[in-house]
Structure 1
Amino acid sequence: MFWFELLVVLLAIFVGARLGGIGLGVMGAIGLAILTFGFHLQPTVPPIDVMLMIVAVVTAAGALQAAGGLDYLVHLAEKALRKNPKQITFLGPFVTYVFTLVAGTGHVSYSVLPVIAEVATDSKIRPERPLSISVIASQQAITASPISAATVALLGMLTPFGIGLADILAISIPATLTGVFVGALFASRMGKDLDSDPEYLKRLNDGLVEPLGKDEGSKNVPTTAKVSVWLFLLGAVLIVLFGSFDFLRPEWIVDGKATRLGMPETIEIIMLSIAALILILGKVNVAKVGKGSVFSAGMQAVIAIFGIAWMGDTFFKGNMPFLQSSLLSMVTTYPWLFAFALFVLSILLYSQAATVRALVPFGIGLGLPAASIIAMFPAVNGYFFIPNYPTIVAAINFDRTGTTRIGKYVLNHSFMIPGLVATAVAIAVGFMLATIIL
């Protein structure tokens, strides 16, 4: 039964990718309907928080575009990249990595991805290159962040063995950064140049995108555009601060227990507030926000995530007993496959923290050294493998040129090579550092 259900999931992704746009989301709903009514799997809770975070960020980004801030940002980036236009492929992932590192969640990258996409497009760079590795960087940084749930979970399990947070970070930060850099090297050579990409040329002929190389010269940038950029950056900085320092977020006593405002709600409140400030101080025509390319792409991403992520989560949760028993027996029999098992289980669980909680205790039980477990920690970043994670879907929809996509065979998507390279390199470097540091 498992394999038939997996076939339904893959077919839904395949057909949805062929339809494009909201097609990914509605085909996810078809797949979910088959899993629910045909195979009687119980649907999980829709990814509401993820969708609302994207809505909030996209609303702010849409307001930024309507205020002329995005054009100003792209103009500045074009000037900075004129000598070496491929630099965005390395700067983009560095930004998403740092944001995730200090915020503890990869969802902060939603505020950066549309900017990366626009900068790449208007700088005549194939957007697939920086977008693909930027998404991977936001995932790798989870296993390097001192405040992420995955790192905290690993620390709790390894503390009895004399391992401290500094020991984990001393290995995971340089290892994942190296992996991201090497992944960016591979990403910088992916696909044809933008001006010769068939999908872009097709969209160009259909009038869906503007021609490359338009010279905006040294036009005067209105003050309101500059203000909107600073407001948008302020929102990103606030998200990082609130994610880095828990005490900045309000706390309440609920049923006798202290409950702190969560990061999803924090991101939603901040970015919607930033959108409001941009509209007011930037003197934006509100009607222009919904007509902008960033807002349109973001809403398509929300619909796509609604169907695809819900279907995927339902499939994995419904088959968890089978998946766990299979993987755990494999690890018990072949301890050297522990890194592979971490990678596979992360694909199925869509959570680094859940993967750590599920498998690391068994690795410890097998007698694996703490240093080896830390070295293999980046292996839990495997959920890029099946292209239906929210940040992946968002990046695909933010790329208006169509170069960032799900391949004909589903798994040959834009994020596969950068993801595999970054993960493999991070693990290899982790083992080298572990022998030196621990």
Structure 2
Amino acid sequence: MIWLQFIVLLTMILIGSRLKGIGLGLMGVLGMFIYVQVFRLRPTEPPQDVMLIILSIVTTAATLQAAGGLDYLVSIAERVIRRNPKQITFVAPITTYVLCLFAGTAHIVYSLLPIIAEVSAKKRIRPERPLSASVIASHLALTGSPMSAATAALAAILAYPGASIDVMKVCIPACLLGVLASCASVYKMGKELNQDPEFLERMKDPEFAKSLESEDDANIKELKPGAKISVAIFGIAIFMILIGGAFPHLVPEMAEGSANFSVNADGSLKMVTIIEVVTLSAAALIMLITKTSPAEITKASLFTSMASAVVSVFGVVWMSSTFMANNEPVIKELMGTITASYPWLFAVAIFIMGMLMFSQSATTKTMMPLGLTLGLANPSLIAMFPAVNSDFFLPGYPTLLAAINFDRTGSTKIGKYVLNHSFMIPGLVGIAVAIIVGFILIGLLGIGK
């Protein structure tokens, strides 16, 4: 019976991943309907913590976007990239990583991709190289960012004092080295642009050739008056979350009593509560101080994407957790022996689930509790955390498609066999290096001892 249930799980995820957007979440709820009606499985609790984390963090990021703060951050990144055109294969991904790490969202990369594509093409550097590495960098930045829903979800699952700080101490340097490894892996990828037949064919078009000969003048976009203030408030919110995670004794404590969604039994506030209160308070201050209207916030592209993310996490995580909870003894028997002998194989399982779910937070919420159930130690799960970034493997994720569309030279592409696309090598290299470095760092830092 477990195999029939597993087939239902995979079928819903595969169909949902092809539908994109809220399709994944809706197919997850359909899977729940089948589990309850056909297999009579007992539903688990929906992933309320992750859903509220996504709602809080993305609403704050959308407020930052509406106030002009994201435009200000992108303008800084653009200047950095344009000032170092010859080293764009390294500069662009690193800049992307830092920007997405601060903002806690990979969606910022959409603003940088056309800049990266144009600067590299004009300098006759194959755009495929910096574009592919930058997309992977935008994903890796989410595993470690204090403003990322995936990082907050992992800290909530590990649920020990200082968990969020441990995740950042390990994953930020590990993923940064993973980004550098990705850059190195694509440094000589493909033919040089001036030797690429497709590019040479396009250069026969006089208008196309003229556009690449024009000067590298940045498009100056007028910033909103409150842009810099909104970034400052957003930065303070990040700092407060870091302080709350690193020094829990500084966080107000309530009277002891029964634990609930927000408070532990000893009266300490849960990290989820701290993140939600701080981020949404920051959003309120940005709105008030910069005079940003609520209507502008709800119209922001990030706010729209939040609805899709919440529905997706709700459906697919609820379905996955129900399957695993009702089959826990069998799963432990099947995977327990293997992971006990070869713990690193669980990272492969995370990677596979991540490439099907197209969501770091959903993959984290689905797989990390399973890792704890199988007896994997907290430090090992932290080191394996970058494996949730496998959404590049099947070339359907929006950031990948955007990079392909912005590359006017045609060098960034999906290959004849689908999986031999431009992002495969930097993605595999980046994640593998990040996980290896993560395991090294948990030993050097003595995490878990």
TM-score by length of 1: 0.66
Q: Which residue of 1 aligns with 2:375?
A: 359
Q: Quote the RMSD (CA, aligned, Å).
A: 5.1
Q: Which moved more, 1:308-317 or 1:264-273?
A: 308-317
Q: Is the 8 A contact 1:117 1:127 kept in 2?
A: no
Alpha-carbon shift at residue 322 of structure 1 (Å): 0.9
SS in 1 for 2:226: helix
Q: Which residue of 2 aligns with 1:70?
A: 70
SS in 1 for 2:41: coil
Alpha-carbon shift at residue 10 of structure 1 (Å): 1.9
Structure 1 residues 226 and 417: alpha-carbon distance in aligned structure 2, compared to 1, 3 A threshold: same
Alpha-carbon shift at residue 74 of structure 1 (Å): 1.5
Structure 1 residues 181 and 53: alpha-carbon distance in aligned structure 2, compared to 1, 3 A threshold: same
Q: Is the 8 A contact 1:26 1:307 kept in 2?
A: yes
| Partners of 1:345 and 1:218 in 2: CA distance | 42
Q: Is the 8 A contact 1:342 1:359 kept in 2?
A: no
Counterpart residue type for residue 285 of structure 1: S
Question: Does 2:300 correspond to 1:300?
Answer: no
Alpha-carbon shift at residue 148 of structure 1 (Å): 5.8
Q: Which residue of 2 aligns with 1:267?
A: 275
Q: Which moved more, 1:282-291 or 1:418-427?
A: 418-427
Structure 1 residues 182 and 383: alpha-carbon distance in aligned structure 2, compared to 1, 3 A threshold: same
Structure 1 residues 319 and 88: alpha-carbon distance in aligned structure 2, compared to 1, 3 A threshold: farther
Q: Which residue of 1 aligns with 2:106?
A: 113
Structure 1 residues 274 and 330: alpha-carbon distance in aligned structure 2, compared to 1, 3 A threshold: closer
Q: Which residue of 2 aligns with 1:287?
A: 295
The structure 1 residue matched to 2:324, chosen from 316, 324, 339, is 316
Q: Is the 8 A contact 2:140 2:175 kept in 1?
A: no
Once the two structures are superposed, residues 406-438 of structure 1 have per-residue CA deviations (whole angstroms, 9 ceiling, x without a partner) of: x9x999999986665445435656788999999
| Partners of 1:150 and 1:48 in 2: CA distance | 12
1:16-415, aligned counterparts within 5 Å?
A: 16-82=16-82, 83-84=84-85, 85-86=88-89, 87-93=91-97, 111-120=104-113, 123-124=116-117, 129-136=133-140, 138-139=142-143, 178-179=177-178, 181-183=180-182, 185=184, 217-255=219-257, 258-330=266-338, 335=341, 337-341=342-346, 343-344=348-349, 350-352=366-368, 355=371, 358-360=374-376, 378-379=383-384, 382-383=387-388, 401=402
Alpha-carbon shift at residue 230 of structure 1 (Å): 1.6
SS in 1 for 2:266: strand
SS in 2 for 1:253: coil
Structure 1 residues 266 and 131: alpha-carbon distance in aligned structure 2, compared to 1, 3 A threshold: farther
Structure 1 residues 65 and 249: alpha-carbon distance in aligned structure 2, compared to 1, 3 A threshold: same
Counterpart residue type for residue 25 of structure 2: G
Alpha-carbon shift at residue 78 of structure 1 (Å): 1.0
Alpha-carbon shift at residue 381 of structure 1 (Å): 5.6
Once the two structures are superposed, residues 341-377 of structure 1 have per-residue CA deviations (whole angstroms, 9 ceiling, x without a partner) of: 565489698454762563358xxxxxxxxxxx98997
Q: Is the 8 A contact 1:182 1:425 kept in 2?
A: yes
Once the two structures are superposed, residues 142-192 of structure 1 have per-residue CA deviations (whole angstroms, 9 ceiling, x without a partner) of: 9x99x9689998x9xxxxxxxxxx9x999998766544542465589999x
SS in 1 for 2:44: coil
| Partners of 1:46 and 1:414 in 2: CA distance | 37
Q: Is the 8 A contact 2:59 2:283 kept in 1?
A: yes
- Identity, % of aligned positions: 32
| Partners of 1:284 and 1:172 in 2: CA distance | 34
Q: Is the 8 A contact 1:171 1:374 kept in 2?
A: no
Counterpart residue type for residue 320 of structure 2: G
Once the two structures are superposed, residues 38-93 of structure 1 have per-residue CA deviations (whole angstroms, 9 ceiling, x without a partner) of: 22222221111111111112222222222222222222211111134543423444
Structure 1 residues 259 and 96: alpha-carbon distance in aligned structure 2, compared to 1, 3 A threshold: farther
Q: Is the 8 A contact 1:92 1:134 kept in 2?
A: yes
| Partners of 1:285 and 1:317 in 2: CA distance | 44
Q: Which moved more, 1:250-259 or 1:301-310?
A: 250-259
Q: Which residue of 2 aligns with 1:207?
A: none
Structure 1 residues 310 and 169: alpha-carbon distance in aligned structure 2, compared to 1, 3 A threshold: closer
Alpha-carbon shift at residue 30 of structure 1 (Å): 0.9
Alpha-carbon shift at residue 314 of structure 1 (Å): 1.7
Alpha-carbon shift at residue 226 of structure 1 (Å): 1.7
Alpha-carbon shift at residue 400 of structure 1 (Å): 9.1
Q: Which moved more, 1:171-180 or 1:12-21?
A: 171-180
Structure 1 residues 432 and 314: alpha-carbon distance in aligned structure 2, compared to 1, 3 A threshold: closer
| Partners of 1:287 and 1:400 in 2: CA distance | 29
| Partners of 1:40 and 1:412 in 2: CA distance | 42
SS in 1 for 2:255: strand
SS in 2 for 1:378: helix
Q: Is the 8 A contact 1:298 1:397 kept in 2?
A: no
| Partners of 1:225 and 1:437 in 2: CA distance | 38
Counterpart residue type for residue 89 of structure 1: P
Structure 1 residues 73 and 18: alpha-carbon distance in aligned structure 2, compared to 1, 3 A threshold: same
Structure 1 residues 280 and 328: alpha-carbon distance in aligned structure 2, compared to 1, 3 A threshold: closer
Once the two structures are superposed, residues 378-404 of structure 1 have per-residue CA deviations (whole angstroms, 9 ceiling, x without a partner) of: 3476455689xxxx9xx9578894879
Alpha-carbon shift at residue 268 of structure 1 (Å): 1.0
Alpha-carbon shift at residue 319 of structure 1 (Å): 2.0
Structure 1 residues 42 and 402: alpha-carbon distance in aligned structure 2, compared to 1, 3 A threshold: farther
